[in-house]
Structures are given as C-alpha cells and as structure tokens.
Amino acid sequence: MARKVQEFESINPDKVGLYTCGPTVYNYAHIGNFRAYTFEDILCRTLRLAGYEVKQVMNLTDVDDKTIRDSQKENLPLKEFTARYIKAFFEDLAKLRIHPAAVYPAATEHIAEMIELIGKLFEKGYAYCAEDKSVYFAIDKFPAYGKLANIDRENQRAGVRIKTDEYAKDSVADFALWKAWDEKDGDVVWDSPWGKGRPGWHIECSAMAMKYLGATFDIHTGGIDNMFPHHEDEIAQSEGANECKYVNYWLHCAHLMVNGEKMSKSLGNFFTLRDLEAQGRSGREIRYVLMGTHYRKKLNFTFDALDQAREALRKFDDCFVRLSAAGGDGSADSAAQETAAKAIEAFKSAMFDDLNTAEASAAIYSLLHEANKLLAAEGLSGQGAGYLLDAFRTFDKVWACLDVDAALQADNSIPSEIEAMAAARVEARKNKNWAESDRLRDEIKSLGYVVEDVPGGGYRLKKL
C-alpha cells in the first residue's frame, strides 16, 4: 500500500501470518498462476531463512460461476468436480517444490463464517439486501475505498466487468457479498438470513483469512490482477466489519508473458505444468525459470529459457559431484570457507532486500565460479568442499531447485561393477599403465557410462 520498500515488522515477534489467494479449481492451473505461487513460496522460504515461523494460509475457491458452469457441463456434483482439480493442484505444487501452506481452506467448508461476516456488515451499516435477495457492500459508506489500488473514487470500478443483472443494486460500483440463488446454479445453494444463495468471491477470502490469521495479520499476497477489485473489496469488507486494519503489508506479483505476449489459448501459448511435462520439461527446470525475474517485474517465459535452465542446472550438478569427490591436500580449504561465508552473506542480503532474486542469483553463480576455480587448483580437501556444498544447501532453502544431495545421490547410483572399473583405472593411471587405463575407459563407455578425471586424482562417472 505504501508503494515503496519498507522495513518489515511482524505483529508477533518471530512469527508471520501470511494469506495467499489460491486457485479457482475449475481447471488445471497454468504457468501464469504458478509464477505467483512460486513467488509466494520464495517469500515464505526467505522469511524462514530470516528466522521467522511462517503460517501461510492459501484458499481454494471451489464455488463460483466457473466451477458451477463446468461441473454442470460434465454432469458432476460440484464437490466431485472440484476435487479432481484440487488433487492436481497439490500434485503440481509438489513438482515445483512449493512448500505446503499451513492451511488450505476451501470456500464451501466456510459458508457459516461468511454468513457471520456479512451479518456484521449489516450491523455496521455497510451491507444491504437488493430486491432479488442478493446482498451488496455499499462502498460509498467506506470512505477509504480505493486506497490499495490508489484509484480515483469517481471512476473506481471503471473497466471492471459488471453483470447486467447486478444493476438492481443501489450503485453500479457496489460489489456482491451474497448472490441470490439463480436457476442456473442448480443444486449449489445454501440457506442464509437473506435467502437462498451462495457467497461472493471477495467475502470468501476475508472470512477465511480472519478465521485462521485474525482480524489483522502481517502479509497478503496475490497476482497483480487481484489488486483491484478483489483485494480492494477485501479491505473494505474486513475493515468495515472489524474496525481495524486488515493487512500490514501487501505484495503483488507481476504478470507472466510467453514469448513477449500475454498468455492466451487463442494465441496457442497457454501452458499448464502438464503441457510442459509432456514436452520433457521438469518441475525443477520450470521453477528455475519462474524465479528468473523480480516478482514486481513481468516475466517473459520462453522455451529458450527452459533450455538454458536445463544447462545451468547441469553445471550445478556437475560442480556438486566434483566437490564431493575432492581429494586435495587442503591448502585451499580456508579460502573455500571464506568464499562460502561471503556468498551466503551476499545471498541473504539480496533476498532480505525485497526478494532481490537477481542479486541473489549473482551470489549463487559467483560461488559456482569460485568453486570451479578452487577445484581446478587441486588444493581442496573433502572438508573444504563441504563448506562450499553447505553454502549451496543454504541457497536451496530458498531456491529449492539446486538439489545438492539429489545430485550426489544420483551420482552414487552407479552400479558397483562400474565403480570398481573406474577405481581400477585410477590405479592404472597412478602406475602410468596408460594402455590399461584406456581399456578400462572404453569398457566403461561400452556399458553406457563415461568416466571423467577430476583434480586431486579423483573421477566422476556419468551415464551417457
């Protein structure tokens, strides 16, 4: 709301309450959605790195016009229809290494809380009932409306699509708290003091956020398109009901573009995670790309970027395996320890500065460069290499795609007979038996592996 970087102070020392606008579960989430969820994951991970205990709440919108419409198209009960996409959403989060939220409240399981909140708004004079028994929020009664999006009150809902049947309300700018039952809603209906119907979208988030985080909490996140009207409406109804500040810090993620254009099905550049997986892309690579731009800047998603991510991650894997095989005399260990400490400090400094992922990435790549230099100098022992590996592990508490230990485990999955031949080749080289060394190298290759020599007399095995 301040539109500037501020020093963060949590309401409760060492604890953070954070609410995230989650998916509307009528289809598979697309990569634009996951750009926002990845940013929010980075935020939570960074807060934990800073020592905070984070309670993240991410809602699931499982009742709205789209979920009702599409469940009816498939002739399925709403709950059965949305359960399919909720399950898929959680699978996708896991593939992108997005840490689970503490709570995933579903709208349909919190109708009572929404009705109670609407009741408070009636008591405070903010809500009114229209002729069709829908309930609306009178924004003229809330003078601070527009403070988040910094909009002109005279044109505050210009450009926002308004259903023609909502003109029964007192003002075209007012928004729905409760939608009266319509025959197209079928059996998706709940009783309320104002008549049968279902909640409006905005009231869902306010009611669930307040239930799990309280009337005032630390951070609210979402995509930039959520800022208005959704988040503006949340503020109005929450602060109107509770007469206190709703959220202390708002963070919004900019849009994702595909090849420089807005993602849309008509342009053929609309992708879900499953679409990309079918093309051989991994969740690890996709996450790497989604982190490639600061959250407040538009991210241009390209297949070239995915290719670059694959190559970059391969270089990290290669470095990790070489570090694990380091067997030098230790003359470079103190330099490694100092280099690792400086890299961690630079990484934290960047991430604690409004999630400056560009500077943090520079710190990571700087350490990769220095690690390769130290390996080439052949003075790095296992202990010295450990300092560097631990630094990469620290980075991965936030990055979550470097996968140090996974790379080492994959390297350790080489069959024992291949390992034995590689070890015998090391002995042959020590004895300057070059013919035997070459024979073993060729035999290893014939079995589908390549052996690479590393500084210090070690080796690395890779599948061809």
* Closest among 99, 102, 32 to 396, alpha carbons compared: 99
CA distances from 213 to 113, 151, 188, 418 (A): 14, 28, 28, 55
Greatest distance between any 2 Cα atoms in the chain: 95
DSSP string, 223-238: EGGGIIIIIHHHHHHH
Q: Do 459 and 325 meet the contact criterion of CB atoms below 8 Å apart?
A: yes
Q: Which residues of 175-202 are buried (b: 16+ CB within 10 A; e: fewer)?
A: bbbbbbbbeebeebebebebeebbbbbb
Q: 258: pLDDT confidence band, cut at 50, 70 and 90?
A: very high
Q: Cβ neighbours of residue 297 under 8 Å, at least 6 residues apart?
A: 254
Please name the residues in contact with 429: beta carbons below 8 A apart, sequence gap of 6 or more: 437, 453
What is the average pLDDT score of the chain? Answer: 92
Summarize the confidence of residues 50-60 as an average pLDDT: 99
Q: Rounded distance, CA 230 to CA 235, Å? A: 9
Q: Give the DSSP letter of residue 60.
A: B
Average pLDDT score over residue span 230-236? 97
Q: What is the pLDDT of residue 410?
A: 74
Which pLDDT value is given to residue 423? 87
Indicate if the pLDDT at residue 263 is higher than 50.
yes
Mean pLDDT, residues 360-383 taken together:
95
* Phi/psi of residue 106, nearest 5 degrees: -95, 140
Does 2 score more than 80 pLDDT? no
Q: Does 64 score more than 80 pLDDT?
A: yes
pLDDT band for position 416 (cuts 50, 70, 90): confident
pLDDT score, position 454? 64
Question: Is the pLDDT reported for residue 286 higher than 60?
Answer: yes
Q: pLDDT grade, residue 175 (50/70/90)?
A: very high
Q: Is the pLDDT of residue 163 over 90?
A: no
Q: Could you give phi then psi for residue 87, rounded to 5 degrees?
A: -60, -45
Going by C-alpha positions, the residue among 302, 293, 222, 297 that lies closest to residue 254 is 297
Crossing angle of helices 382-399 and 357-377, rounded to 10°:
160
Report the share of the chain in percent with pLDDT over 90.
79
Give the pLDDT score at 264: 72
Q: Is the confidence at residue 162, as pLDDT, over 50?
A: no
The confidence band for 355, taking pLDDT boundaries of 50, 70 and 90, is: very high
More confident call, 2 vs 399: 399
Count of CA atoms in the C-beta half-sphere (13 A) of 38: 34
Q: Which residues of 363-373 are buried (b: 16+ CB within 10 A; e: fewer)?
A: bbeebbebbee
**Which of residues 418 and 209 earns the better pLDDT score?**
209
pLDDT at 440 over 70: yes
Residue 128, strand partner residues: 136
Q: Kindly report the CA angle at 183 between 180 and 185, in degrees rounded to 5?
A: 70
Sheet holding 217-223, edge to edge: 53-58, 15-20, 217-223, 247-253
Degrees (nearest 5) of the Cα angle 344, 346, 352?
100
Contact 25, 60 (CB under 8 A): yes
Average pLDDT over residues 248-268: 88
Per-residue pLDDT averaged across 31-51, rounded? 98
Percentage of the chain lying above the pLDDT 70 cut: 93
Report field, pTM of the whole predicted structure over 0.75: yes
Q: What is the pLDDT of residue 339?
A: 98
Task: Using the predicted structure, report yes or no on whether residue 303 has a pLDDT greater than 50.
Answer: yes
Q: What are phi and psi of 294, to 5 degrees?
A: -55, 145
pLDDT at 187: 95
Which residue is it, tokens 């008591």? 123
Q: What is the pLDDT of residues 88-103, one digit of tens each?
A: 999 999 999 999 999 9
- The residues facing 222 across adjacent strands are 252
pLDDT at 166: 41
- Pick the range with the lowest mean pLDDT from 174-178, 272-276, 389-393, 453-457: 453-457
Q: Is the pLDDT of residue 167 over 50?
A: no
Higher pLDDT, 456 or 16: 16
Is the alpha carbon torsion for 15, 363, 397, 376 positive or negative?
negative
Phi, psi for 125 (deg, rounded to 5): 85, 15
Exposed (0-12), middle (13-18) or buried (19+): which is 261, by Cβ within 10 Å?
A: exposed
Between the ranges 228-237, 320-329, 375-384, 443-452, where is the mean pLDDT highest?
228-237
